[in-house]
């Protein structure tokens, strides 16, 4: 009932909200954990407006931001991953905001306690956070202060985005007063920090910076102080563990210095995260035929020399015989290296496999399978350009090699060359019109170019030739979802789950489609449970 420090009686705001513990404070106010007396002492959070600013202009700006937070929370409604606004009022000439209490730990504390995020955990963060932002931006709101401290992981594992105190209603361009900085150093984009402007892409930059912090353990502000925004080009060198090519490319685009070069919506990033090409990951393994027996051939000196002896030619010195390397022996040696490389590849020793394929190619420069398998090993190490050179060699030796075209297309796809990838998939399909993987990969390239309908046609072909192809149903569902066909997307996700009951992404996306149809009880929590 009384403050333990000064003895002042504690106020029960509006005869309902009773502060019980200080949670923190900032430049605009103080935050308290409180009890809602009218709801059986259920926990809530009280924000008291107590700005530590000087001057009328600064006070007015602080008041605007505080009121703005209440308006944005009310506008966003009862989203499960955004705190609900419970009350906003003036009492004794002070402003108060009361919101839902989120029981959990913010991601900065999680980083300190559990260590850096691995790639899978970072990917799950992006999927969850971007789905929140998709809703926020659809409501014409920009958060403007995304960082690990403002993301709480609830006890059920789901993320909640908090602190909309810096958020702003989106107009054609959101712009604060000249000289006003909104956001947190290190996480805020160039246009926010220098020009006071903000776009949905500004929030996406903050998402990328947040993801980098959690993957590396390094606060982006530390790098910014030394390099400015140049750190976004070399961010990989600060990681303790490398990330995959596709995730790396997504973070590259999120962290572009110029906002026009970034993704322009959360939906675009989700599309990139969910569109996973289906590579031909197993190397080609043609049977190695036994080496034929050699015909016995008698060297000519074994015939001539005895004749010389019989003819009285005297002492004869036989030359020391060396074993000539026959074509058959070369072939056998190349196959031996090839198979050793294959075994190392299957054990994920990609560098060792490359050394063996090098030997096979040195012995037999026309060994197309060795080139394509060496390309696959390079591909798995993230060396897409080197892989392409190997596939080029395989195609030069065998222009009808469909696998070489599809794998070269996949490497081009990973480099962002979607149109070039499509041309390779066209070649693979021309050689083998029933090549389901070629259709699904061509569909993904078309999907990335925004051609959802033609992508669907490719997925239809993949399903025609392989009716149990879970990935084809999944990707067709994504394309239909983007076209606004939630019900048909659900049917595709059902098929993907039927053929792969552990397909977590299919459950998640099916939940999103159901959510869009108003089936909120079937929100995508099953995917998290499954994972």
Segment 425-435 shows an average pLDDT of 94
Segment 104-119 shows an average pLDDT of 94
pLDDT at 425 (0 to 100) = 95
Q: Sketch out the chain's domains with CATH numbers.
A: 17-100 (3.30.200.20), 104-274 (1.10.510.10), 330-530 (1.25.40.10)
Segment 78-102 shows an average pLDDT of 86
- Of 360, 204, 199, 217, nearest to 288 by C-alpha is 360
Using the predicted structure, report yes or no on whether residue 98 has a pLDDT greater than 50.
yes
Mean pLDDT value across the chain: 81
pLDDT at 75 (0 to 100) = 72
What is the per-residue burial (b if ≥16 Cβ within 10 Å, else e) of 70-88? bebbeebeeeebbbbbbbb
Using the predicted structure, report yes or no on whether residue 111 has a pLDDT greater than 50.
yes
pLDDT at 495 (0 to 100) = 95
Give the Å distances, CA to CA, from 352 to 97, 243, 347, 359: 62, 21, 10, 11
Better-scored residue on pLDDT, 80 or 40: 40
pLDDT at 462 (0 to 100) = 93
Question: Distance between CA 236 and CA 88 in Å, rounded?
Answer: 44
DSSP letter for 9, please.
B
pLDDT at 94 (0 to 100) = 84
Chain segment 168-221, per-residue pLDDT in tens: 544 433 334 433 445 688 899 998 888 778 889 999 999 999 999 999 999 999
Segment 453-479 shows an average pLDDT of 93
Instruction: Quote the radius of gyration of the chain (alpha carbons, Å).
Output: 32
- Of 221, 67, 82, 207, nearest to 148 by C-alpha is 207
The confidence band for 294, taking pLDDT boundaries of 50, 70 and 90, is very low
pLDDT at 184 (0 to 100) = 82
The confidence band for 324, taking pLDDT boundaries of 50, 70 and 90, is very low
pLDDT at 1 (0 to 100) = 66
Max mean pLDDT range (7-16, 346-355, 515-524): 346-355
Segment 88-117 shows an average pLDDT of 91
Segment 72-90 shows an average pLDDT of 82
Strands 42-49 and 85-91 come out as unpaired
92, 103, 145, 458: the catalytic one is: 145
DSSP letter for 147, please.
S
Segment 12-38 shows an average pLDDT of 84
Active site residue 492: no
Segment 333-360 shows an average pLDDT of 91
Segment 126-145 shows an average pLDDT of 88
Using the predicted structure, report yes or no on whether residue 337 has a pLDDT greater than 50.
yes
The confidence band for 293, taking pLDDT boundaries of 50, 70 and 90, is very low
Better-scored residue on pLDDT, 35 or 502: 35
> What's CA 20's distance to the chain center, in Å?
41
Quickly count: other Cβ atoms within 10 Å of residue 425's Cβ.
29
Using the predicted structure, report yes or no on whether residue 33 has a pLDDT greater than 80.
yes
pLDDT at 173 (0 to 100) = 36
Question: Distance between CA 43 and CA 23 in Å, rounded?
Answer: 13
**420: its two tokens:** 């070039």
| Residues in Cβ contact with 312 at an 8 Å cutoff, skipping those fewer than 6 apart | none
pLDDT at 3 (0 to 100) = 64
Segment 378-405 shows an average pLDDT of 92
> Which residues lie across from 43 on neighbouring strands?
35
Chain segment 217-238, per-residue pLDDT in tens: 999 999 999 888 999 999 999 9
pLDDT at 313 (0 to 100) = 39
- Of 140, 135, 16, nearest to 71 by C-alpha is 140
- Of 382, 434, 379, nearest to 407 by C-alpha is 379
């Amino acid at each position: 009932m009384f403050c333990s420090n000064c003895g002042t009686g504690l106020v029960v705001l509006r005869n309902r909200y009773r502060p019980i513990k200080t949670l923190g404070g900032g430049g605009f106010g103080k935050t308290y954990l409180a009890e809602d007396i009218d709801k059986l002492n259920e926990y809530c959070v009280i924000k008291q407006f107590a700005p530590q600013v000087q001057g009328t202009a600064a006070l007015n700006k602080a008041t605007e931001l505080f009121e703005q937070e209440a308006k944005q929370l009310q506008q966003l409604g009862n989203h499960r991953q955004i705190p609900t606004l419970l009350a906003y009022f003036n009492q004794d000439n002070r402003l108060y905001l009361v919101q839902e209490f989120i029981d959990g730990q913010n991601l900065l504390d999680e980083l300190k306690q559990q260590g850096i995020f691995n790639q899978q955990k970072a990917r799950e963060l992006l999927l969850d956070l971007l789905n929140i932002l998709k809703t926020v931006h659809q409501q014409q709101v920009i958060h403007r202060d995304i960082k690990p401290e403002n993301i709480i992981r609830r006890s059920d594992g789901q993320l909640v985005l908090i602190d909309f105190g810096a958020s702003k209603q989106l107009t054609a361009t959101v712009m604060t007063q000249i000289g006003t900085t909104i956001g947190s150093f290190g996480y805020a984009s160039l246009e926010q920090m220098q020009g006071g402007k903000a776009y949905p892409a500004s929030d996406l930059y903050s998402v990328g910076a947040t993801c980098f912090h959690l993957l590396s353990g390094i606060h982006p502000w530390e790098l910014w102080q030394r390099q400015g925004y140049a750190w976004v080009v070399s961010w990989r060198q600060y990681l303790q563990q490398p990330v995959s090519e596709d995730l790396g490319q997504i973070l590259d685009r999120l962290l572009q210095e110029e906002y026009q070069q970034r993704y322009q919506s959360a939906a675009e990033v989700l599309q990139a995260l969910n569109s996973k090409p289906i590579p031909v990951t197993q190397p080609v393994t043609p049977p190695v035929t036994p080496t034929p027996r050699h015909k016995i051939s008698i060297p000519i000196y074994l015939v001539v020399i005895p004749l010389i002896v019989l003819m009285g030619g005297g002492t004869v010195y036989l030359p020391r015989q060396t074993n000539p390397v026959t074509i058959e022996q070369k072939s056998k040696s190349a196959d031996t290296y090839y198979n050793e490389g294959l075994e190392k590849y299957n054990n994920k020793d990609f560098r060792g496999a490359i050394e063996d394929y090098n030997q096979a190619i040195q012995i037999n420069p026309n060994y197309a399978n060795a080139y394509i398998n060496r390309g696959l090993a390079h591909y798995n190490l993230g060396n897409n350009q080197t892989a392409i050179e190997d596939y080029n060699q395989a195609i030069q030796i065998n222009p009808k090699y469909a696998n070489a075209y599809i794998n070269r297309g996949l490497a081009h796809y990973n480099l962002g060359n979607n149109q070039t990838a499509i041309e390779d998939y066209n070649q693979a399909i021309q050689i083998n019109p029933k090549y389901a993987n070629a259709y699904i990969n061509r569909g993904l390239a078309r999907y990335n170019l925004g051609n959802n309908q033609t992508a669907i046609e490719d997925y239809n072909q993949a399903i025609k030739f392989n009716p149990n192809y879970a990935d084809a149903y999944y990707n067709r569902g994504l394309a239909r979802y983007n076209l606004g066909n939630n019900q048909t997307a659900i049917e595709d996700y059902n098929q993907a789950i039927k053929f792969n009951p552990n397909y977590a992404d299919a459950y998640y996306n099916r939940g999103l489609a159901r959510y869009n149809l108003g089936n909120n009880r079937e929100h995508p929590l099953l995917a998290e449970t499954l994972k």
